[in-house]
Amino acid sequence: MMKSMEEKRIPKRLLIIGNGFDLDLGRNTRYSDFAKSEFWPKNLKSQLYKYLNQKSQIEKWFDLEGELANYVLKAAKTIPAYKSLIPETAKEDAQDFGIIVESMIKYLQSVQKKNVKSETLAAKVFSLVCQDSAFSKIYSFNYTDLNRVTRQFELPELSNIEYVHGCLSDNSAILGINDEVDTVNGAYDFMRKSFNPHYSSHPVGYDLRDADEVVFFGHSLGDNDYHYFQSFFKHQCEENLEPGEKRTITIFTYNETSRMEIMRTLHKMNQGRTSMLFQNNQLNIFCTYDEEQEMSDTFREWYQYRLDEIERTQTKGFFEGITDEKKV
């Protein structure tokens, strides 16, 4: 009887999406896309704008948040004789920073008005998630409104989404730097994400530990969001992990280059014990570029298993069986 109940138990799943998800849907949501657009501010006067504008022209993969951190770190290293000028410079930077954030929101709002591609792996996985009640929550590290996609695909609207960095639907997008960055005696605190009035707590760490399966789609696990995941991956690499703590971890990334970057990040997170991550867990990594060219047997099995599970859990007998067993 106990075995039957275990077989029928609905697993807890968690979906975490990053910018690669929007890119796979055909949206031009890179910071470099914004910098090349008509929405990028013109002829601002601050030192911050001049720095960012120059970087956007010479960096192929312009990382706006990364460059904000670099700019503040550079200011922190200013020689003592010029540090008295920082408060006034920061005041001008704050004004232009507000303009840049507002312009970015307008750019992304224009992007999300367009329909997304419906034949991509992101569309396929997202449609699956919307139908699978096992996915108890979605954490989006993007600003775009996921329910625009559900409406396009004629799927039920989702209420279990947490937008970690805010959302375009209510103009709450949060752009900035992490707490670890030295803000030069508070002069650049206006850039701290945690100081933004829209910032709120999200139990990412708890939900990662509580889930049976965690699916990452298009999230690089990079430096900007590193702190959300480090303790989870470190724990999953412990040598004496209990059998019940084994997790299924599924990562969708773009290609072999991005897969290698993720492996390097995981290697860093778990202090070089990457092999233990494979040993302790069921780790799947799918490259969307390869899968969209020719779907692998591994992905077919992963996808079909979850489709079959949705069909099983939607039958009346599935839930009646669970109820009856609990009464025994």
pLDDT in tens, 22-32: 999 999 999 99
Residue 98 falls inside a structural domain: yes
Q: Which residues contact 72 (CB under 8 A, 6 or more apart)?
A: 177, 181, 182, 183, 184, 188, 191
Question: Which residue numbers in the chain have pLDDT < 70?
Answer: 1-9, 79, 81, 315-328
- Identify whether residues 80 and 152 lie together within a single domain: no
Q: Specify if 176 maps to a domain.
A: no
Task: Check if the beta carbon of residue 72 is closer than 8 Å to that of residue 182.
Answer: yes
Task: Provide the 3-class DSSP secondary structure of residue 248.
Answer: strand
pLDDT at 328: 34
Task: Please give the angle made by the CA atoms of 156, 14 and 107, to the nearest 5 degrees.
Answer: 65
Domain residues for the domain of 82 are 29-113+181-197
Same domain flag for 209 and 312: yes
Are 186 and 103 in a shared domain?
yes
Q: In this structure, are 100 and 229 located in the same domain? A: no
pLDDT given at position 322: 47
- Give dist(CA 110, CA 38) in Å, integer: 11
* Count of structural domains within the chain: 2
Give the pLDDT of residue 1: 38
Task: Give the angle subtended at the CA of 121 by the CAs of 10 and 61, to the nearest 5°.
Answer: 120
Summary mean pLDDT of the chain: 89
User: How confident is the model over 258-273, as pLDDT tens digits?
Assistant: 999 999 999 988 888 8
- Could you tell me if residue 11 is inside a domain? yes
One domain, residues 23 and 134: yes
pLDDT score, position 319: 46
The verdict on 251 and 228 lying in the same domain is yes
Q: Are residues 145 and 211 located together in one domain of the fold?
A: yes
Distance CA 178, CA 189 (A): 10
Spatial distance between the Cα atoms of 214 and 99, rounded to a whole number of angstroms: 37
174 located within any domain: no
- Tell which residue, 242, 208, 249, has the closest CA to residue 227: 208
Residues 6 or more apart whose Cβ sits within 8 Å of residue 234: 269, 270, 271
**Is residue 14 within 8 Å of residue 136, measured between CB atoms?**
yes
Q: Confirm whether 169 is domain-assigned.
A: no
Shared-domain flag, residues 6 and 155: yes
Query: Is 221 found in the same domain as 159?
Result: yes
- What CATH number corresponds to the domain at position 135? 3.40.50
Closest CA to 41 of 51, 58, 55, 53: 53
- Residues 35, 132, single domain; the answer is no
Amino acid at 237: C
- Cα(179)–Cα(217) distance, rounded to whole angstroms? 25
pTM of the model: 0.90
Longest Cα separation, the chain: 79
pLDDT value at residue 7? 52
Q: Does residue 135 form part of some domain?
A: yes
**Residues 213 and 319 placed together within one structural domain of the fold:** yes
User: Do 276 and 313 fall into the same domain?
Assistant: yes
